[in-house]
Structure 1
């Protein structure tokens, strides 16, 4: 196994069925950054083999991979998952001020008014909003509060984020925890 496949990987797209007679395939994007899917971009599939995209048409959701030019050869990649590393994501995807990669928010401690509420397990997207899925701190669970809860990750709940310190300050999160 290569060193590349031992790094944490992100599932960012899945190749779908073949379309037409020239080896085109549907591309089902699972990322907020479609700009990373361009001709010449290379991704791991199924966590071990690399493929290179060519003839990318995001408007139609179609790609060709490697040097494949017929549906018979392309079919062997149907349902293959495309992966990238955290480092490649940081290099290839632009964030605006106040935006964060979901993987950077995971494992951050969550505070309100200096009190530890818990730790972010994951970020969930429900409809068009992002929510922090928080595992409640054991001291609060011991007081009868729920083991986990969700908090919207936007104003007015989001107060401050320090990715380097793995710390998120929220407002109103304790009320949500108590009402959960």
Structure 2
């Protein structure tokens, strides 16, 4: 099962092992008392969370020295747990499902989604351009706004996204 990065632990706060919690997910509600996460330094179970201060305390970590061992550690969930815990509505997608999708427009493959970038104006698909376009001296990658005006259809079962206007973006890149 592929692990998903959901948070990074920051500096210690106070004297009792609390730490800054830098949330890297759209589902902050998963950080609750009793929730367990894998980290790159072992399994951690939340003892308490203070959303107003952006801090978390884990069971068994009761001092600054113990907490410092986890500074800059990442917390992980997995795809299966995320899908079970956070059902999505129609036309909503998990980023991990979108990554790797082939992008098409009018039957032509434009490329593959290699990343999703969250910018102030919204989410953008970073597409690695298909070799046939690169051979025509087009950009090696380009961004498509994840908006209805550019995304016609998403077929997760086929790992395919049909677009409109994305080829114009590629041509202008």
Normalised to the residue count of structure 2, the TM-score between the two structures is 0.93
CA separation in 1, counterparts of 2:87 and 2:10? 26
CA separation in 2, counterparts of 1:163 and 1:27? 32
Please give the per-residue CA displacement for 1:15-67, whole angstroms capped at 9, x wherever unaligned: 11111222211111111110111111111111x51111111122221111122
Q: Which moved more, 1:119-128 or 1:162-171?
A: 119-128
Equivalent position of 2:171 in the other structure:
178
**Count of paired positions:** 173
Aligned with residue 78 of structure 2, among 85, 91, 108: 85
> Residues 1-180 of structure 1 correspond to what in structure 2 (within 5 A)?
7-46=1-40, 49-180=42-173
Q: CA deviation at 1:128?
A: 4.2
Q: Is the 8 A contact 1:131 1:150 kept in 2?
A: yes
**SS of structure 2 residue aligned to 1:22:** coil
Q: CA deviation at 1:11?
A: 1.5
CA separation in 2, counterparts of 1:79 and 1:176? 38
Q: CA deviation at 1:142?
A: 1.9
Q: Which runs of 4+ in 1 moved over 3 A?
A: none
CA separation in 1, counterparts of 2:121 and 2:33? 29
CA separation in 2, counterparts of 1:19 and 1:115? 53
**SS of structure 2 residue aligned to 1:91:** helix
CA separation in 2, counterparts of 1:80 and 1:142? 42
Q: CA deviation at 1:147?
A: 1.6
Q: Which runs of 5+ in 2 are unaligned?
A: none
Please give the per-residue CA displacement for 1:85-110, whole angstroms capped at 9, x wherever unaligned: 12122122232221111111111111
**SS of structure 1 residue aligned to 2:46:** strand
**SS of structure 2 residue aligned to 1:18:** strand
Q: Which moved more, 1:83-92 or 1:101-110?
A: 83-92
Q: Is the 8 A contact 1:35 1:93 kept in 2?
A: no
